[in-house]
């Protein structure tokens, strides 16, 4: 699947290590073979460089140039305009709201992800694969539809709309609606990262802990959690990036009230539609920095998970 996680990288690394060992063992006999076979299963230099060049051109057109454009446009009118756009009260309240929303949605999906992965990975029950498919549902639904469903539930015309307005409680066009829509679109991230990881780990270690007299929670905190921490972190990083950057779903339920229900991406849209491009790109550059930080953390977690898997493999061999 799209996010294969650190575990696959770990496996790949182990594979390469074994290859390396077999090469050193039979280095003598295979050396000439290797050169010959390498030529047979590789391309001519000009083909290699053309393919690398084409790839870099494609990635530049779609990834590197847009990223560079964000920062160039943001700084076009000088550093002063840039910082003014970021510390302006509406921008600050958008930053605050974005942090609040992610701060609620991510932990909720984290608890769900652990619970769902525990049930699915460690137990057998009917309808398991159907449940796993249902968890993926929010990824298949358009963000706009994700926003719409909460308007249908909690809007004035919605199922609970009358009751909510009688009790003077707003969900749609207020912060609770934004939290709900964000929770929906980031729903599968942690669960789908943990399910394959915990399935691969099996349940022997947990059973050993119980035999040795640990209580259920002790087993969870001391055995399960340390085993899944990198996968968990990986899921949380991706979940958080999407939660802070979600646009379509939040746009439907927010009501676009400046300084009150605008998250950072919605603030970017408002500034852009007012032709205030420098300010729009300045705020957008904060989100681009968040994306770069996400990629850096993700690479670090993948590297750590691969290192962990390699260490465990080494211990087993010794």
Partner 1 sequence: MKNKHNKNTLPGFNLSLGYAVLYLSLIVLIPLSATFFKAFTLSWADFWQAVASPRVVASYKLTFGASLIGALINVVFGLLTAWVLTRYHFFGKKFVDAFVDFPFALPTAVAGIALSAIYSTNGWIGSWLEPFGIHVAYTPLGVVVALTFIGLPFVVRTVQPVLEDLGAEVEEAAASLGANRWQVFYKIILPAIWPALITGFALAFARAVGEYGSVIFIAGNMPMVSEITPLIIITKLEQYDYAGATAVAAVMLVISFILLFAINGFQWWSNRRFGNAR
Report 147-206 residues binding partner 1 (CB under 8 A). 148-153, 155, 157-159, 180, 183-184, 187, 203, 206
Nearer to partner 1, 212 or 318 (CB): 212
**Contact in structure between 266 and 98 (CB atoms under 8 Å):** no
CB of 314 to partner 1, least distance (A): 21
Helices 175-185 and 225-245 cross at an angle (nearest 10°) of 120
Site for partner 1 in 7-26 (CB under 8 A): 8, 12, 15
What is the distance between the alpha carbons of residues 25 and 29, in angstroms, rounded to a whole number? 9
Among 31, 64, 83, 163, binds partner 1 (CB under 8 A): 64
- What is the pattern of x (binds partner 1, CB under 8 A) and - over residues 288-317? x-xxx-xxx-xx------------------
Smallest distance from the beta carbon of 133 to partner 1, in angstroms?
Answer: 5
Within residues 249-268, the interface with partner 1 by CB under 8 A covers 251-252, 264-266, 268
| Cα distance between residue 83 and residue 26, in whole Å | 62
Between CA 4 and CA 238 the distance in angstroms is 12
Q: Cβ(121)–Cβ(228) under 8 Å?
A: no
Does residue 269 bind partner 1 (CB under 8 A)?
yes
Q: What is the DSSP letter of 247?
A: -
Near partner 1 by CB under 8 A: residue from 190, 233, 247, 279: 247
Nearest distance, CB of residue 318 and partner 1, angstroms: 26
Rank residues 136 and 311 by Cβ distance to partner 1 and give the closer one. Answer: 136
- Cα–Cα distance for residue pair 230/193, rounded to 1 Å: 10
Residue among 255, 293, 257, 250 nearest 98 (CA): 250
């Amino acid at each position: 699947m799209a996010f294969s996680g650190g575990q696959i990288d770990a496996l790949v690394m182990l594979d390469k290590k074994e290859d390396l060992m077999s090469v050193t063992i039979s280095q003598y006999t295979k050396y000439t073979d290797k050169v010959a076979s390498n030529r047979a299963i590789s391309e001519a230099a000009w083909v290699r460089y053309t393919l690398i060049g084409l790839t870099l051109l494609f990635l530049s057109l779609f990834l590197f140039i847009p990223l560079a454009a964000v920062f160039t446009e943001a700084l076009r009118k000088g550093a002063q305009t840039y910082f003014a756009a970021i510390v302006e009260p509406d921008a600050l309240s958008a930053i605050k709201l974005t942090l609040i929303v992610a701060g609620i949605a991510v932990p909720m999906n984290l608890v769900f992800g652990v619970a769902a992965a525990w049930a699915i990975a460690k137990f057998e029950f009917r309808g398991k694969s159907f449940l796993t498919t249902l968890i993926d549902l929010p990824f298949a639904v358009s963000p706009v539809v994700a926003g719409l469903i909460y308007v249908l539930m909690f809007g004035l015309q919605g199922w609970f709309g009358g009751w909510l307005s009688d009790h003077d409680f707003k969900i749609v066009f207020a912060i609770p609606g934004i939290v709900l829509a964000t929770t929906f679109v980031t729903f599968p991230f942690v669960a789908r990262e943990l399910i394959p990881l915990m399935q691969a780990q099996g349940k022997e270690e947990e059973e050993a802990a119980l035999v040795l007299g640990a209580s259920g929670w002790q087993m969870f905190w001391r055995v399960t959690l340390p085993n899944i921490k990198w996968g968990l972190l990986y899921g949380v990083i991706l979940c958080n990036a999407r939660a802070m950057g979600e646009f379509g779903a939040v746009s439907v339920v927010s009501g676009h009230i400046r300084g009150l229900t605008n998250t950072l991406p919605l603030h970017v849209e408002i500034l852009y539609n007012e032709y205030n491009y420098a300010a729009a790109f300045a705020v957008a550059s904060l989100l681009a920095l968040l994306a770069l930080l996400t990629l850096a953390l993700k690479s670090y977690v993948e590297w750590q998970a691969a290192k962990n898997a390699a260490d465990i493999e080494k211990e087993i061999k010794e």
